[in-house]
Amino acid sequence: MNTNFKDYNQQQNWLFPPSIEELIPEDHPVRVVNGVVEQLDLNLLISEYSKDGQPSYHPKMMLKIMVYAYMDNTYSSRKIEKAMGENINYMWLSGKQVADHNTIARFRSKKLKTIFKDIFKQVVLLLADEGLVTLKEVFTDGTKIESVAGRYTFVWGNAIKTRKKKMVEQLEQMWQYAQSIADDEDKDPTPPDFKEIDQDKVKQTAKKINKILSNNPKAGSKQKAKLRYIEKNFASNLEKYEQQEKILAKRNSYSKTDPDATFMRMKEDHMKNGQLKPGYNVQISSESQFVIHYSLHQQTTDYHTLKPHLQTYQYLYESMPDRVVADAGYGSEENYEYLEDNNVEAYVKYNTFDKEHKNYKTKKKASGKDDFHRDSLHYNEKGDYYVCPMGQRMEKQNDKKQRTKSGYLQYTSVYQAQNCNGCPLRSLCHKSANHRTIQRNHKLERHKEIARQRLNTELGEQKRIQRTADVEPVFAHIKSNRNFERFTHKGIQKAELEFGLHALAHNLKKKVA
């Protein structure tokens, strides 16, 4: 029998029991969390507490526990409570105090909700003091993360418009029917205006129709039943639609179980069929793979997120970065102009840059079809006209104005050929029944030319490569390594706080590394 074992005795007493301090390695991440939080100004967090009632757990201790829990991939308040009672690292941070899960949940959702961005900013500034980041150059990108809302609890803006349109049609039909069978003294020479309907108009119209149909022997039973349905449901339905449109604001969808969430197409699709799911568009700006700034948006496209994202950056740090690097999802006239007005050097692609760059590098010749594309036609800037493939001048006809979803006003010039009749290239050039017209946004073209020249420099090529190695791995780490593919809290404020905790944990974990 082998008896060559080390001594094992659970009842052995310690002459000098070790302290928890001795059991925590000097280079353990928990010490980094403790050291960073000790340097923070927590007056805003302390002001969230009332001086009345029973003493609360110290907010400094609660913040340390919360940040370390997210570094430890522990997000459930019950699991954090359990760790505070069993895990030596949590015990050391809390001084052996154990907060119950309700206290932990309230601290996260209520105490941190309005002041967490200030804590995040202070940590980033500490990283800047250590020389890990400069705040002068940021790489910006976005990803869509699913909300905790039910996946099939959607409300669609277009569906509301369709239902309201059908209500108008039914009211008009009932009104015309009532007028067709009404006695001469009951006929109304001025029919109601149904272009815009509200509850009062529905009630008044239904009342007038009812007056005609109630004692009229010509009235059919189906029409009377239809009128009863209108009286019973239309006003209440309109009230519901008005409330839904108020929640929608400028969006086209929201979830009934998380009204702040918008239905978006996600890369992580559990059904693998490209279905829409409720979620938020998360934007981050990174430097050296540290998250410098983050924001959540309800817009599905990145075009409309860059400006508000950088506005909150400016509010947070009281300055703008000197340089922004982003992909083609942000290359709009509004964004280029905003960056230019704020003296930010923009390395931002436009939607056709990659195709142009690929053709330029491979020296690929344009296809025959490309020869007739607007960008292939000669534009005379001095005379403000285009020249078609047959040498015909395309004169400017007018300027068009249009507003984007964000309210930005764009101007587009329209140019038209004088005579395409009998042109041997017409079938290749265009398929319009009239003479060919093309449109040009001069301001956007100017911004694209600046972007093209900047991106094709040696520095521009370096920044394009650097962007993919800087900001994209941050999302990969947070979503894959930290198992964060879906929010666990409802509402955009709580969801933004949740992502902020992940971003702060990411920064501290990278600092440790």
Model confidence over 441-487: pLDDT tens digits?
Answer: 999 999 999 999 999 999 999 999 999 999 999 999 999 998 898 99
Residue bearing tokens 């974990």: 509
> Among 376, 408, 441, where does a domain finish?
441
Kindly state whether residues 30 and 96 are assigned to the same domain.
Answer: yes
Q: What is the domain extent for residue 174? A: 155-253
> Number of C-alpha atoms within 13 angstroms, CB side, residue 416?
10
pLDDT digits over 369-394, tens only?
A: 677 888 888 999 899 999 998 888 99
pLDDT confidence of residue 270? 60
Kindly state whether residues 44 and 120 are assigned to the same domain.
Answer: yes
221-229 vs 199-214: helix axis angle to the nearest 10?
Answer: 160
d(CA 504, CA 127): 11
Q: Assess if residue 148 is contained within a domain.
A: no
* 186 pLDDT tier (thresholds 50, 70, 90): low
Kindly state whether residues 79 and 172 are assigned to the same domain.
Answer: no
Kindly state whether residues 79 and 180 are assigned to the same domain.
Answer: no
Indicate whether 1 pLDDT > 60.
no
Tell me which residue of 307, 263, 277 sits closest to 405, measured CA to CA.
Answer: 307
Indicate whether 111 pLDDT > 60.
yes
Question: Does residue 314 contact residue 320 with C-beta atoms inside 8 Å?
Answer: yes
> Among 253, 269, 295, where does a domain finish?
253
Q: Assess if residue 227 is contained within a domain.
A: yes
d(CA 52, CA 39): 27
Kindly state whether residues 88 and 174 are assigned to the same domain.
Answer: no
Q: Assess if residue 50 is contained within a domain.
A: yes
pLDDT confidence of residue 204? 85
Kindly state whether residues 42 and 112 are assigned to the same domain.
Answer: yes
Two structure tokens written together for 507: 């920064």
Kindly state whether residues 113 and 201 are assigned to the same domain.
Answer: no
User: 154-156 and 253-255: which strand pairing?
Assistant: antiparallel
d(CA 371, CA 28): 63
* 201 pLDDT tier (thresholds 50, 70, 90): confident
| Top-confidence residue, 196 or 341 | 341
Question: Does residue 455 contact residue 349 with C-beta atoms inside 8 Å?
Answer: yes
pLDDT digits over 148-174, tens only?
A: 998 888 999 999 999 999 998 888 888
Indicate whether 361 pLDDT > 60.
no
DSSP class of 486: B
Radius of gyration of the chain (CA): 32
> Among 210, 235, 253, where does a domain finish?
253
Kindly state whether residues 123 and 167 are assigned to the same domain.
Answer: no
Indicate whether 180 pLDDT > 90.
no
d(CA 138, CA 15): 56
Kindly state whether residues 25 and 125 are assigned to the same domain.
Answer: yes
Residue 364 exposed, middle or buried by CB count within 10 Å (0-12, 13-18, 19+): exposed
Kindly state whether residues 118 and 183 are assigned to the same domain.
Answer: no
Indicate whether 362 pLDDT > 90.
no
Q: Please give the helix or strand (H or E) that residue 146 lies within, else none.
A: strand 137-146
Q: Per-residue pLDDT averaged across 216-231, rounded? A: 87
**Could you give the dihedral angle defined by the CA atoms of residues 428, 429, 433 and 438, in that order, rounded to the nearest 10 degrees?**
160
Tell me which residue of 111, 237, 223, 133 sits closest to 174, measured CA to CA.
Answer: 223
Percentages of the chain per state (helix, strand, coil), in multiples of 5: 50, 15, 35
Two structure tokens written together for 451: 């972007």
d(CA 40, CA 429): 65
Tell me which residue of 363, 372, 331, 366 sits closest to 454, measured CA to CA.
Answer: 331
Q: Per-residue pLDDT averaged across 65-88, rounded? A: 96
Q: Assess if residue 432 is contained within a domain.
A: yes
Residue bearing tokens 């029998």: 1
pLDDT digits over 419-443, tens only?
A: 898 898 888 888 888 899 999 999 9
Tell me which residue of 499, 158, 496 sits closest to 297, measured CA to CA.
Answer: 496
pTM, full prediction: 0.88
Give me the residues paired with residue 410 across strands.
Answer: 402
Q: Assess if residue 149 is contained within a domain.
A: no
- DSSP codes, 410-473: EEEEEEEES--TT-TTHHHH---SSS-EEEE-HHHHHHHHHHHHHHTSHHHHHHHHHHHHHTHH
Q: Assess if residue 499 is contained within a domain.
A: no
* 224 pLDDT tier (thresholds 50, 70, 90): confident
Q: Assess if residue 448 is contained within a domain.
A: no
* 199 pLDDT tier (thresholds 50, 70, 90): confident
Residues 6 or more apart in contact with residue 262 via CB below 8 angstroms: 251, 252, 253, 254, 278, 279, 280, 281, 298, 299, 300
Indicate whether 285 pLDDT > 80.
yes
Average pLDDT, the chain: 90
* 196 pLDDT tier (thresholds 50, 70, 90): confident
pLDDT confidence of residue 364? 54
Kindly state whether residues 25 and 109 are assigned to the same domain.
Answer: yes
pLDDT confidence of residue 374? 84
Highest-scoring range by mean pLDDT, 6-10, 314-318, 424-428: 314-318
Kindly state whether residues 36 and 106 are assigned to the same domain.
Answer: yes
Secondary structure of 275-322 in the HEC alphabet? Answer: CEEEEEEEEEEEECCEEEEEEEECCCCCCCCHHHHHHHHHHHHCCCCC
Q: Assess if residue 430 is contained within a domain.
A: yes
Domain count, the chain: 3
Tell me which residue of 355, 372, 373 sits closest to 364, measured CA to CA.
Answer: 355
Percent of the chain with pLDDT over 90: 66
Two structure tokens written together for 145: 């993360």
